[in-house]
Structure 1
Amino acid sequence: MTAFYLKLFITPALMLFISLAAKRWGTQIGGLLSGLPLTSALVMLFLSLEQGETFASMAVPGALAGLAAIQATYLFYFLMTRSVSAFTGCITALVFYGSIALVMSRSGWLALSIIATLLLVTVIIIVTSKQAQTKAAHYVPLPRWVIPMRMVTATLLLLAITASAEWLGPLASGLLAPIPVIAWPLAVFAHVQGGHQELGAIVRGNAIGAVGVVGFYLTVKVSILQWGALLSIATAVLLAVAITFMVARLLDAR
């Protein structure tokens, strides 16, 4: 029951923080923050607490496969919505995600998932270079209901993922773990409210964050059984933050 209340508190609090950060520093910063393994860390923590640390460790291969599928989906959505509406793009992208995630999970190869993720991140950074050059995504004023709606959406998604873990098993649970319960609502709402430029900034920031997420999952995989869930996940998050901001700094320097 304590875990349930933590989910109800932490997820909307993170969504609020990222939304306010995007408002203060621009949509690309919001995308960068949403790309950090914030929700991934929460999912892995709750899987460890509710299903055990071995279960969480076994979920990592699925999580990395899911991460590759998510980056492919962001790229698909970004390219597709150049010619279709956000609603059509969103529905089609979710179907696309399910197909790619299924294919990636069947492979079971950590190396393949990591290589695919990094290649997709590279492509996303290239196709969103216009957003980085123009610095167009400063933040579009939003109706008051948008941030609460993001908070509710993110919380419901996290509850759904963790509640289904017991009967899904570690591989499928891992596959669902990196689903961007914060970044996806943020991306869709930013697209609807601010257009394709705002979407590009979110997608770019999230892709940069995905490099750190790879480091997060690998750290959890090698350390959670030896160090325990709290120390392992905390260390993995710190490493992911360092990697993400190092990559962001290198790209800005260019």
Structure 2
Amino acid sequence: MDIFTLKLVLTPALIGMVSLAGRRWGAFISGWLVGLPLTSGPIVMFLAVDDGPAFAAKASLGIMSGALSQALVCLGYGWLCRRRRWPATLAWSLGVFALATAFFNVFRPPVEWLFPLTIAGLAAIYYAMPAAPAGVPRIKPLPVWDIPARMIVATLFVVGLTEASQQLGPHMTGLLAPFPLYALILAVFAHYFEGASAAIRVLKGMLQGLFSFAVFFLITARLIEKAGIWPTLLLAVAVALAIQGGVAWLRVRLRKS
């Protein structure tokens, strides 16, 4: 299977599984799964294969900065969706992402500073998120076309960004790779069909997942040139899944206590 075909197969499969998980276990779990590098991880893999490990390592630093852009989008959407409908909320959130991307295109600290700043920023943003309004019922039945639509949009994004990577350069490609495509798709659909409470649960779940996201790209930025593409990606995936599993276990323990 060539790389282009893999893009067409892997991306919709991931968003489809996450969407089905949300149907089965709720909005928070779908957002929590989206916090994994489901778009950016494959993008780094494709960049490493197409453009080389050095390109992918530089892009990984941009992606780590972009984690904060994602988090700011979650914060903005979370507060605005309580009072506004999804089109206005989405428009403002996209504006937040654009401003954050422009800032991080100029502000480029070394990884020794970038990683702790990212973790601290994610923690602060998570605690600044609004509480989900209680008792909001589902307001519209879910249509049969929503999951296929999500899969198509996500695939177009991944293919378009990786094909344009040489023109954008590694840092800008990295900054754009964490565009919260899955999160916004899930949040907008949750907002429209189930209300603001479901959208906020999606976004809070994603924010919890972004800590493992940052660790994933710390590993790829540091090791992909030295250790090779596949050993680095396998290690990054294993560590990210271990962190996500630990967070899930801790969340269950805290709810029981």
TM-score by length of 2: 0.89
Deviations 1:115-164 (A, max 9, x none): 45334433454355744x969899x8511011111111111111121111
Separation of aligned partners in 1, 2:96 and 2:118: 16
For the 8 Å contact 1:165–1:173, the answer to whether it is kept is: yes
* Structure-1 residue corresponding to 2:55: 55
Deviations 1:182-201 (A, max 9, x none): 22211211111111111111
SS at 2:84's partner residue?
coil
Percent identity among equivalent residues?
A: 32
* Structure-1 residue corresponding to 2:31: 31
SS at 1:142's partner residue?
coil
- Deviation of 1:210 (Å): 0.3
Q: How does 1:1-254 map to 2 (within 5 A)?
A: 2-109=2-109, 110=111, 113-127=114-128, 130-131=131-132, 142-254=142-254
Separation of aligned partners in 2, 1:209 and 1:41: 14
Separation of aligned partners in 2, 1:226 and 1:125: 34
For the 8 Å contact 2:219–2:232, the answer to whether it is kept is: yes
TM-aligned CA distance change 1:5 to 1:160, over 3 Å:
same
Separation of aligned partners in 1, 2:81 and 2:212: 27
* 1:2 partner letter: D
Separation of aligned partners in 1, 2:141 and 2:129: 22
SS at 1:38's partner residue?
coil
SS at 2:83's partner residue?
coil
- Deviation of 1:18 (Å): 0.7
RMSD of the TM alignment (CA)?
2.4
- Deviation of 1:250 (Å): 2.5
Deviations 1:191-216 (A, max 9, x none): 11111111111111111110001110
Separation of aligned partners in 2, 1:103 and 1:29: 31
TM-aligned CA distance change 1:123 to 1:141, over 3 Å:
farther
Deviations 1:31-78 (A, max 9, x none): 111111121110000011111111001112211111111101110111
For the 8 Å contact 2:101–2:176, the answer to whether it is kept is: no
- Deviation of 1:227 (Å): 1.9
Deviates more, 1:122-131 or 1:33-42: 122-131
Paired residues in the alignment total 253
TM-score by length of 1: 0.90
For the 8 Å contact 1:121–1:207, the answer to whether it is kept is: yes
Separation of aligned partners in 2, 1:202 and 1:195: 11
SS at 1:108's partner residue?
coil
* 2:115 partner letter: I
* 1:197 partner letter: S
Separation of aligned partners in 2, 1:196 and 1:120: 24
Separation of aligned partners in 2, 1:197 and 1:231: 40
Q: Which runs of 5+ in 1 are unaligned?
A: none
